[in-house]
Chains A and B, each alone.
Chain A
Amino acid sequence: MKKTDDFNKLDLFIKENAPLAPKPAEGHEAAAADALSRQLKKRSSLVRNSWIVLAIAASAFLALRSKETPQVVPQRVAVQQIIDDIAEDYGQGDDTPAPAYENWELLAESVSTAAVSRQ
């Protein structure tokens, strides 16, 4: 009985004093929601499961990662989701083996390097 009482006190203390996540900067939540919403609309119009899309997405991902700000995070997240989805689609194909994730990153590096050298 003592143990149950102790656990009840513990449970109450944990619940009443549960840590809270730091609040995002003012306006960040709304900006993130709108940015994600826009990215998802654009995403739905893309032709998926293609190396061209993958290359563009990977390049964008790297470019966005290099200049990280709160406003850029939603765009990078959306791009990352495209890459993950394409990887998943390849995994579900009958004959096409899913490329290892490292290969996607390698490809992304190549695309990024090529983009930089053209600038």
Chain B
Amino acid sequence: MTTVGSIETNLDKLVEEKTDGKSASFSEFYRSHQLYIRNMLFRIGIRDELDDAVQITFVKAWTKLDKFEKRASVKTWLTRIAVNVAYERFRKLKPAPPTPPRQLQRTENRVENQQLVSRALESLTIEHRLVVVLCLIEGHSLEEVSEITGHPVGTIKSRLHRARTTLQKTLKELGLEL
């Protein structure tokens, strides 16, 4: 599993190598971090073009590595690029018709619970889903999410609160009482 610590270390090393004109390894960069980016993009709703979105994220990150100013952490910077790629994808897609609620039961089966969470996430707007994924699942702080999305911390807080309320309601409709 890729940890936040290893992302920071590897990307810092990579930035340094590329800036110094050394032969940094793009393959290593991609292999080290693609799982984190892949899961994050999937969770915010990228489905059919997931491979494309992951690869575009890394090509963009690599080509703009020289411009990375270290104002934010490297993980935040990479996440921001991925989120922008996702937004470009969403803009090109027509909104999917809402799916009717289907009863699912909370079980000890992890796969079924993941389906429940997936359905609940789909009920959110993209802005709310993004905040839930980044804050609750990926463990980013409110300040980091503010940096990634370009919205003030207050907006992120309020979106998170509304998203949680919607999630609770949706999960209840799906037959889950927490």
Contact = CB atoms under 8 A, between A and B. Distances in A.
Main SS of the interface on chain B? helix
A20 B39 CA distance: 6
Given A10-B178, A13-B171, 6 more contacts: A10-B168, A18-B114, A21-B38, A33-B34, A36-B59, A73-B55
Contacts, number: 99
Interface in A17-74: 17-22, 24, 28-30, 32-34, 36-37, 40, 70, 73-74
B55 A77 contact: yes
Interface stretch (B2-10, B23-31, B67-75, B140-148): B23-31
B51 interface: yes
Interface centre among A6, A19, A33, A40 (most CB of B within 10 A): A19
Interface of B: 25-27, 30-31, 34, 38-39, 41-43, 50-52, 55-56, 58-60, 62-63, 110, 113-118, 120-121, 132-133, 136-137, 164, 167-168, 171, 178
Given A19-B42, A33-B26, A33-B27, A24 B51 contact: yes
A37 B25 CA distance: 8
